[in-house]
Amino acid sequence: MEAFISFFQQHFPLLAEYKYLLIFLGATFESMNTIILSGFLASIGSVEFWPVLLIVLAGEILNGYMWYAVGYFGGAKPIDRWGRKDEKSRKIIETVERYFHRYSGRAIVLAKLTWSLTIATMIMAGSFKYDMKRFTLYNLIGALGWVAITFSIGYVFGEGYQAIFVITHIGYVVLFLAGAIVLIYVLRHLFRSKFFRTRRAAERFREIGDKIKEGIDRMISP
């Protein structure tokens, strides 16, 4: 353990000195990998557990407000610009928009846990001038859930690392962090796939219901 901390301090003195500030900036602008790394560092004792946990939570919350502001002041232009890139992007935007109109708060929470939809949903909430108090609540709930997942994965990998190895080589640290990051990418991909499958099924059932209703209306019409 001391070997890793000593290596970090000797080779990256500025990072070691301003580690909490850098973690906050990383959680705000990059989020996932930074939070995983923070959990790992907290596990091996390089940073204090509660301070770093609160710091990454604050950064994740600020990230939501940042993209909300982009939509609030920029309108729908950022979304339209991204959605026109290709057919797949357009369908993603349309799905997010329908889901947001129908569920709003639930969409904000789920977006925090769904790969590639977070930014689009936050910008959309801002462009619709979604109520700030409600956005604050759902942004907080989503941030708590996302930080709990990613921080815990990093922390558990750190605990597992300590149980198996005595830290003597930086390569082991890189290997375990890479494993944690790969795991969270897989989880987010699964969340996204389930989200779209659920949405497509719901839309199909709605279409079937509309057709049945139309058929009944025609039958009972004079």
Sign of the alpha-carbon dihedral angle for 92, 95, 101, 104: negative
Distances (CA, A) of 59 to 7, 46, 81, 110, 127: 27, 19, 26, 18, 22
Mean pLDDT, rounded, for 4-33:
75
Alpha-carbon gap, residue 204 to 10, rounded angstroms? 59
Average pLDDT for the chain: 76
Q: Tell me: the pLDDT tens digits for 158-209? A: 776 665 555 455 555 566 666 666 666 666 666 555 555 555 555 554 554 4
pLDDT-based confidence at 138, cuts 50/70/90? very high
**Which amino acid makes up residue 69?**
A
Q: Tell me: the pLDDT tens digits for 72-119? A: 998 877 777 766 666 777 777 777 788 888 888 888 988 887 755 788
Number of domains in the chain: 1
Q: What is the pTM of this model?
A: 0.72
Nearest to 177 by CA among 43, 48, 40: 40
pLDDT at 143 (0 to 100):
94
With pLDDT > 70 as the criterion, what percentage of the chain qualifies? Answer: 60
Residue 167: domain span: 2-220
Q: DSSP assignment, residue 142?
A: H
CA neighbours closer than 13 Å in the CB half-sphere of residue 59 = 25
Higher pLDDT, 24 or 212: 24
Higher pLDDT, 84 or 44: 44
Is the pLDDT at 13 greater than 70, yes or no? no
